[in-house]
Structure 1
Amino acid sequence: MEWFGDPDAWLSRLVIQRGLALIYLLAFLAALREFRPLAGERGITPAPLLLRRIRFRDAPGLFHLGYTDRRLTAVAGTGAALSAAVALGLADVVPLWTSMLLWTVLWALYLSIVNIGQTWYAFGWESLLLEAGFVAVFLGNATIAPPVPTLYLLIWLVFRIELGAGLIKWRGDRCWRRLTCLYYHHETQPMPGPLSWWFHHLPRPLHRVEAAANHVAQLLVPFALFAPQPVGSWAAAVVIVTQLWLIASGNFAWLNWLTLLLAVAAVDGALAARHLPLPAPPGGQGEAPVWFVALTGAATALIAVLSYWPVRNLLSPGQAMNRSFNSLHLVNTYGAFGTVTRQRYEVVLEGTTDREPAEGGTWRAYEFHGKPGAVDRRPRQFAPFHLRLDWLMWFAALTPGYAAPWLPRLIDRLLAGDAATLRLLRVNPFPDAPPTYIRARLYRYRFTTPAERRATRAWWHRTDLGDHLPPRASTH
């Protein structure tokens, strides 16, 4: 079955699989760090309560056998260990069926976490990791040539990521059509990075060039991914460069990193070998066994059928973004920033030890790792690691009702001095004893101008807009 495999694609497979395993590793490590305080037995939105209300078919996973924090730790720890081993090459030194089993286990373990993660895991890149992880099961290992159908499934995934993101922008906020959205986006994006201040202060004509280039990269270039070589490789290069630009300008967890990895599937391996100082390809790339060909064909047919829903969504004027159409998170729809906010608002949690809360009292702020807080603290780079609480605090500032189910509970955990919750924060201003009151204060933030930056050394300027939530007292 020589038609089935492409020996020249060995490097593409190597890059995709090792990179995907590293992203899995980060995802499992994030679950070990965050899941228990956010959704564990005593979490802000406890997973056991969710499991009492949902059926297995609606959210399949291992935790329908019973959730405990210890089992979550076992699942995430096993996933982290396996993904680290795969990243180091384990899947290439075992038989083909074992390699497929390793990738299947990684996918099933992470699916089990996502499906009980509730709002903390309701991000498009969670579904993207699961969809890419499922396709990776059928990429094979070093014992066979990379299967062509699976490579095209990965290209189809990149196509939907890019075109979905492009269409949601073009159909959404008119500033995208006017090429003015990037006058605001670098400042108002959920979690700016260390270079975002400089991106924001680029000349406005360059912002318009950025927006126009984005439209080309997301609305036109994706079609060229399917073109004969070398056009497909050049299209992949455009996708990769675009994703690197996005990585430099902000923090979007592993969305951009995974997209550029998947785009490598469209790169011509022989072309890369001629222009890059690469080692010789691994020997022993034999023909794929019949059973593997059959399974890959079945997976391809399944994805073709499930593609009906995202394609219909892409063609719809009411296009939804970042939506899964099935509980296995297979063949999803993607897209982001159909609307760009013009002003940045931040919810800052402030506590006091005063016996009565007063406007002029002594209030001290809790500081988060990623979201803006202290105006003199430069934004940090955290992607591809995902800080879920920090992200949701951005949504809380935009839509107060969005945070109603969990923000008061977060404040209660801080008032109780809950150690697991406090470990999610960068600074606890009350290390000796919890405060008597905590309030959620709303501020408008903007980047300082270059002149303000030189005078104050601050990265942000902020204006106090009053209470987002009034002072809440400890019940302990």
Structure 2
Amino acid sequence: MEWFAAPGSWMGRLLFQRGLAALYVIAFLTAVNQFRALIGENGMLPVPRFVSRTPFRQSPSLFHLRYSDRFFAAVARLGVLLSAAVAAGAADLVPLWASMLMWAVLWALYLSIVNVGQTWYGFGWESLLLETGFLAVFLGNARTAPPVLVMWLLRWLLFRVEFGAGLIKIRGDRCWRDLTCLYYHHETQPMPGPLSWFFHHLPRPLHRVEVAANHVAQLVVPVALFAPQPVAGVAAGLIVVTQLWLVLSGNFAWLNWLTIVLALSAVVPASSPPPAFAPAPAWYVGVVLAVTALVAVLSYWPARNLVGRGQLMNYSFNRLHLVNAYGAFGSVNRIRQEVIVEGTDDAEITGNTVWKEYGFKGKPGDVRRMPRQFAPYHLRLDWLMWFAGISAGFAQPWFLPFVTRLLMNDPATLRLLRTNPFPDSPPTYVRARLYVYRFTGWPKLRASGAWWERTFIREYLPPVTLSSMAPTDGQA
């Protein structure tokens, strides 16, 4: 069975597994903290309503069997505890079958959440976490050498993530081809970070170098992942460097960190001779061979997607989110439009009505507030508010239920926000307005402390009351 094992990859496997488990902790913790307002029984897009109209075969999930907020919280908290235990090394202290079971439970629990998460869980990194987590089930633990086939499957996944992102850019927005996309991207990306203002103000020639380097990193370097070592390790190392650059320049939940974790499985050489491993059991070899064959068959669709003209971005070809298509920023916005939500407790709206703004944790609002770092934690509401600013169509079906809950001072919804201007009693009216946001320059930042400047465009949602919103609550 020498062909089956890759003992020299033991350190890469170790770092990959511990890093992946840590990201599972964050993903489950995000679910614990946010689910009640988003998909809970009284949430904006309730799970009970979703499962009542969606068959199990279309969204396999434990919550088709039973749903309550208490049960969902128990599932998510179990995910936090189990992934934390695995990150601490628990899976290396048990027999191989038990280790595989621990990883399988993590995957099944998170799949159950994603498949009922609806719009709130419609991000590419959800599928990436599930596909990566599925492969982790078959990597073995400290008692067995890493199976070479699964290590190659991880490289195939990393290749699709990077190469797919590179192709969607070249095929998509012209600014990727003329090297000008980063004139805009740092300012218009979904959730800028604390360094995004500084990245935006880099000299334009350097922005062009950044874009060119990105094309090399995503279209050339991934091919070298399939070369012998040390070439594959160098390629993976370059991917890690480029992902860290993205970590510094914005907030993309756990996308960048998960890509780094995947790359670490190939980039880290063993610093010492590998430990002694027990021979792989025959049943384990059989399972790995079967999974490899399954991935090979399922790879037909994403491979065809890569070479096809109508390339899909962040698309799952099956309900288990296995062997998906990936990509990011096939187009780049030239301006940043933000939806600003305000309320008032005046009984009637007059020319003297004072409107108070709701503050979000991550998305721009107060022009003097420096953008914050949240990734790898995922602020789901803030991300969808960015989409809502692009087009009102992206605000369906969750925005009106969100406004309704603000008019009720719903505690679960308010916990998703940074500030509530009506702590004592609900507002009588809530409205939303659309602004263009732009980063200020050095002189204005020094003079006023404002990181942003904004210009009013139009009314996004006219002032509404709770009585006017009740009939549309939760409808689409």
Q: TM-score, normalised by structure 2?
A: 0.97
The equivalent of 2:474 in structure 1 is: none
1:317 to 2:309 alignment: yes
The equivalent of 2:473 in structure 1 is: none
Cα displacement (A) at 1:404 = 2.9
Alpha-carbon distance change, 30 to 281 in structure 1, aligned in 2, over 3 angstroms: farther
Letter in 1 for 2:437: Y
Cα displacement (A) at 1:283 = 3.7
Matches of 1:200 and 1:93, distance apart in 2: 48
1:365 to 2:350 alignment: no
Cα displacement (A) at 1:284 = 3.8
Matches of 1:281 and 1:357, distance apart in 2: 75
Kept in 2, the 8 Å contact 1:353–1:435? The answer is yes
The equivalent of 1:457 in structure 2 is: 449
The equivalent of 1:392 in structure 2 is: 384
The equivalent of 2:368 in structure 1 is: 376
Cα displacement (A) at 1:349 = 0.6
Q: State the secondary structure of the residue aligned to 1:145.
A: coil
1:433 to 2:432 alignment: no
Matches of 2:224 and 2:466, distance apart in 1: 59
Kept in 2, the 8 Å contact 1:41–1:68? The answer is yes
Matches of 2:296 and 2:269, distance apart in 1: 26
Kept in 2, the 8 Å contact 1:142–1:282? The answer is no
Cα displacement (A) at 1:474 = 2.2
Q: Which runs of 5+ in 1 are unaligned?
A: 274-279
Kept in 1, the 8 Å contact 2:20–2:258? The answer is yes
The equivalent of 1:336 in structure 2 is: 328
Kept in 2, the 8 Å contact 1:448–1:461? The answer is yes
Cα displacement (A) at 1:360 = 4.9
The equivalent of 1:51 in structure 2 is: 51
Kept in 2, the 8 Å contact 1:169–1:337? The answer is yes
The equivalent of 2:104 in structure 1 is: 104
Cα displacement (A) at 1:268 = 5.4
Cα displacement string for residues 361-382 of structure 1 (whole angstroms, at most 9, x for unaligned residues): 2001101111001000000000
Kept in 2, the 8 Å contact 1:18–1:89? The answer is yes
Kept in 1, the 8 Å contact 2:15–2:265? The answer is no
Matches of 2:273 and 2:95, distance apart in 1: 19
The equivalent of 1:217 in structure 2 is: 217
The equivalent of 1:291 in structure 2 is: 283
Query: Which runs of structure 2 are paired with 1:84-99 in the superposition (5 Å)?
Result: 84-99=84-99
Kept in 1, the 8 Å contact 2:63–2:112? The answer is yes
Q: State the secondary structure of the residue aligned to 1:337.
A: coil
Matches of 2:423 and 2:456, distance apart in 1: 26
1:348 to 2:340 alignment: yes
Alpha-carbon distance change, 175 to 358 in structure 1, aligned in 2, over 3 angstroms: farther
Q: State the secondary structure of the residue aligned to 1:426.
A: strand
Kept in 2, the 8 Å contact 1:229–1:268? The answer is no
Kept in 1, the 8 Å contact 2:341–2:357? The answer is yes
Q: 1:448 aligns with which of 440, 447, 450?
A: 440
Letter in 1 for 2:68: T
Kept in 1, the 8 Å contact 2:5–2:146? The answer is yes
Matches of 2:240 and 2:308, distance apart in 1: 27
The equivalent of 1:31 in structure 2 is: 31
Matches of 2:364 and 2:34, distance apart in 1: 19
Letter in 1 for 2:134: F
Kept in 2, the 8 Å contact 1:186–1:196? The answer is yes
The equivalent of 1:277 in structure 2 is: none
Letter in 1 for 2:251: N
Matches of 1:299 and 1:33, distance apart in 2: 34
Matches of 1:212 and 1:163, distance apart in 2: 14
The equivalent of 1:306 in structure 2 is: 298
Matches of 2:67 and 2:337, distance apart in 1: 36
Q: State the secondary structure of the residue aligned to 2:360.
A: coil
The equivalent of 1:245 in structure 2 is: 245
Cα displacement string for residues 270-317 of structure 1 (whole angstroms, at most 9, x for unaligned residues): 4xx2xxxxxx56744222111111101111110010011111111111
Matches of 1:78 and 1:281, distance apart in 2: 36
Matches of 1:229 and 1:101, distance apart in 2: 32
Cα displacement (A) at 1:358 = 4.0
Matches of 1:177 and 1:195, distance apart in 2: 25
Q: State the secondary structure of the residue aligned to 1:397.
A: helix
The equivalent of 2:166 in structure 1 is: 166
The more displaced of 95-104 and 7-16 is 7-16
Kept in 2, the 8 Å contact 1:367–1:425? The answer is yes
Alpha-carbon distance change, 76 to 360 in structure 1, aligned in 2, over 3 angstroms: same
Kept in 1, the 8 Å contact 2:39–2:117? The answer is yes
Matches of 1:268 and 1:435, distance apart in 2: 56
Q: Which runs of 5+ in 2 are unaligned?
A: 471-476
Alpha-carbon distance change, 116 to 428 in structure 1, aligned in 2, over 3 angstroms: same
Alpha-carbon distance change, 197 to 359 in structure 1, aligned in 2, over 3 angstroms: farther
Q: TM-score, normalised by structure 1?
A: 0.97
Q: State the secondary structure of the residue aligned to 1:202.
A: coil
The equivalent of 2:396 in structure 1 is: 404
Query: Which runs of structure 2 are paired with 1:130-149 in the superposition (5 Å)?
Result: 130-149=130-149
Q: State the secondary structure of the residue aligned to 2:430.
A: strand
Matches of 1:80 and 1:352, distance apart in 2: 39
The equivalent of 2:79 in structure 1 is: 79
Kept in 2, the 8 Å contact 1:252–1:384? The answer is yes
Cα displacement (A) at 1:267 = 2.2
Matches of 1:287 and 1:269, distance apart in 2: 22
Matches of 2:433 and 2:371, distance apart in 1: 20
The more displaced of 187-196 and 281-290 is 281-290
Q: State the secondary structure of the residue aligned to 1:351.
A: strand
Matches of 1:469 and 1:281, distance apart in 2: 64
Cα displacement (A) at 1:346 = 0.4
Cα displacement string for residues 372-431 of structure 1 (whole angstroms, at most 9, x for unaligned residues): 010000000000000000000000000101213111110000100100100010100111
Kept in 1, the 8 Å contact 2:11–2:268? The answer is no
Cα displacement (A) at 1:466 = 2.5
1:414 to 2:406 alignment: yes
Matches of 2:351 and 2:150, distance apart in 1: 61
